[in-house]
Chains A and B, each alone.
Chain A
Amino acid sequence: MQPYKKHESIAALMNRSNVDTDQIIPKQFLKKVERSGFGKHLFHDWRFNDDGSDNAEFELNKAVFKGAKILVVGDNFGCGSSREHAPWAIADYGFNTIISTSYADIFFNNCFKNGILPIKVEKELLDSLMAEIAVNEGVRFTVDLENQKVSTPAGNDFSFDIDPFRKENLLNGLDDIGLTLKHVEQIDRYEAKHRQTFPWLWA
């Protein structure tokens, strides 16, 4: 996983709520056995017309949003299926930051495992950020994870909360499994006790 660095990037706007993971990456792309290459299918059913051409109506197809690393989107983003193909597709497409009021639980967890920072903001602030993009498409926001700050040209600057453990992992590009295995002795001890407490699970 790449370490998450401070960056100034185009913020793309998708003013939709309850965007589910079936939309983020439709099921016909879930049959692959690799982790890579899902970006070209991101939002497939919205992004492309039936003949495979770009759907000009779809937000992310606007030229001004090309190269965006920040996705600003409505409530309850990533609901539905647990498929990690959704954050794989988002990251592979080039986004590393999402800003919304709320996320579905599994999707939120999956983001951190894939170098994506999902930022939660209040509804009013989200409205202001969306309005700023709407009047100035192609505007660039600065995201500073180290200091937990986002700044924007129109002055919609804000600080955000993040779990300190997750922050460290993102900043350092650390693998969760490696961190957990530092506690392997505790796991061994717990498991020995588990065998005694729940012998029927080991029969």
Chain B
Amino acid sequence: MKKTMYEKIWDSHLVVDPVGQAPLLYVDRHLMHEVTSPQAFEGLRLAKRKVRNPHSILATMDHCVPTKNRELPIADPIARKQIEVMAENCRDNGLNLYDMKNPNNGVIHVVVPEHGFVHPGMVVVCGDSHTATHGAFGSLAFGIGTSEVEHVMATQTLPQKKSKTMRVQVNGQLSKYCSAKDIALAIIGKIGTAGGTGYVIEYAGDAVKALTMEGRMTLCNMAIEAGARAGLVAPDEKTYEYLKGREYAPAGANWDLALAYWQSLPSDEGAEFDAVVTLDAADIAPQVSWGTSPEQVVGVNGLVPSPESFDNEIKRKACESALAYMGLTPNTKITDIPIDFVFIGSCTNGRIEDFRIAAEITRGTKVAKGVTAIAVPGSYQVKHQAEQEGLDRIFIDAGWEWRDPGCSMCLAMNGDELKKGQRSASTSNRNFEGRQGKGGRTHLVSPAMAAAAAAAGHFVDIRTFN
């Protein structure tokens, strides 16, 4: 039988399919951060259970960590406690933790690929919905809840229901300065935030193949924003080249064994998907979200829509409440929307190539009057790489703040946040109400678009920006 990549990974990880129970799937890698794990460790302790495979776990601290003055104690006592508890839990259970002071520290979904901890064909979980990022390597990677974190620690398995499969085919070539982020947002705009619910998406087509590994991570990262359990890209030479020589990548004879397995993973020619969605990359303009859901998105040359332009009542109502929250009037040009804040970073767009393109746009500009712009590298490795390339100087000279790594303003748990009514151009993944601070207004964009907005003080079409 012809199989999709998802089905191949599923079949090779099925431990048992008991009658009357959900099938148990084996978990190869378990990623962890401080916010969704403490209650899982507590559960293990109370049940007197042990972590089954400590070597399968890599942990970091990212959500609550300060991105400046890190040498000082964390001001928020509850956040400080959470960080301390994470360190204790990892120490007590013998887990590999990149704590706040560790040179490998950073956002979990940035750090893990840097160390080659995830490979094609693995099942990877983390108590974090953006685990989908690692599908860029052709691994089945998905977010889980804290009870499931505990379950995986105790059993190395998860009861799982098989998902349906969706192929999202992106044909053709992106125009200059359009990026993986624009593809991701355009897909969500097309299928909606529930369009992928119940599915695992496989991204395919020339525009996907042409993406770098970083770009594929950005694309898969936002599979969850389309409602999908996971996103996958077939591994290829770029994948193998990226992994080779990294700390946790196979070496020597094991490399050849692993490579043979990886090469067997891509979906068989003619394998059937439950749904197929097709886009042409040439049609994708730089995207800007206008509302409070990632599906409320439009090309930069578009207008803020009016509620009446939606044919279904739910969308009309959603548009009305989004416009009220965002303080926008229908039919405003996107390029006329002024901004107060720019954030480049997050597990979506906090990698070296994101800062390279943003620096290219930023070079020789100044942050517009009244705008605060922060660049938050996804990890210390990204930070140091950028500094070696002199990118930090470009940002600093233009009036940006150059920070330490962390999730920062993606979810504003660490004190980096918008004030009520402030409007951001953000390279993160969610524009939900209050996500970047209560009353804060988020517009999701690519790093290039964010950098251009910082200089102009409003959104501009990066394709024509000088």
| A interface residues with partner B (beta carbon < 8 Å) | 17-18, 20, 22-23, 26-28, 30-35, 45, 74-76, 79-84, 87, 102-106, 109-110, 113-114, 163-166, 168, 175-177, 179-181, 183-184, 186-187, 190-191, 194, 197-201, 203
Scan residues 35-53 of chain B and give those whose CB is less than 8 A from a CB of chain A. Answer: 35-36, 38-39, 42-43, 47, 49
CB < 8 Å A-B pair total: 181
Give the complex CA separation of A105 and B24 in angstroms. 17
Give the complex CA separation of A38 and B80 in angstroms. 19
Give the complex CA separation of A175 and B318 in angstroms. 38
Give the complex CA separation of A75 and B128 in angstroms. 22
Interface pair B227/A104, CB less than 8 Å apart: yes
In the complex, whether B113 has a CB less than 8 A from a CB of chain A is no
In the complex, whether B81 has a CB less than 8 A from a CB of chain A is yes
- Give the interface centre of A28, A163, A168 by most chain B CB atoms within 10 Å: A28
CB distance from A186 to the nearest CB of B (A): 4
Q: Which 5 A-B pairs have the closest CB atoms?
A: A200-B250, A200-B254, A113-B147, A33-B38, A84-B145
Interface pair B194/A33, CB less than 8 Å apart: no
Chain B neighbourhood of A45, CB < 8 A: 433-434, 438
Chain A neighbourhood of B433, CB < 8 A: 22-23, 45
Give the complex CA separation of A18 and B193 in angstroms. 8
Task: Select the stretch in B92-100, B149-157, B282-290, B355-363 that faces chain A.
Answer: B149-157
Chain B neighbourhood of A164, CB < 8 A: 20
| B interface residues with partner A (beta carbon < 8 Å) | 12, 15-16, 18, 20-22, 24, 26, 28, 35-36, 38-39, 42-43, 47, 49, 63-64, 76, 78-79, 81-82, 85, 119, 122, 127-129, 142-148, 150-151, 154-157, 159, 161, 193-194, 197-198, 227-229, 250-251, 254-255, 257-258, 261, 293, 314, 317-318, 411-413, 430, 432-435, 438
CB distance from B153 to the nearest CB of A (A): 9
Interface pair A104/B197, CB less than 8 Å apart: yes
Chain B neighbourhood of A79, CB < 8 A: 193-194, 227
Chain A neighbourhood of B143, CB < 8 A: 82, 106
Chain A neighbourhood of B155, CB < 8 A: 177, 180-181, 184, 187
Chain B neighbourhood of A34, CB < 8 A: 38-39, 42
Q: Who on chain B is nearest to A29 by CB?
A: B78
- Give the interface centre of B18, B35, B81 by most chain A CB atoms within 10 Å: B35
Interface pair B413/A31, CB less than 8 Å apart: yes
Chain A neighbourhood of B38, CB < 8 A: 33-34
Cβ 8 A contact of A30, one of B159, B258, B413:
B413
Interface pair A22/B145, CB less than 8 Å apart: no
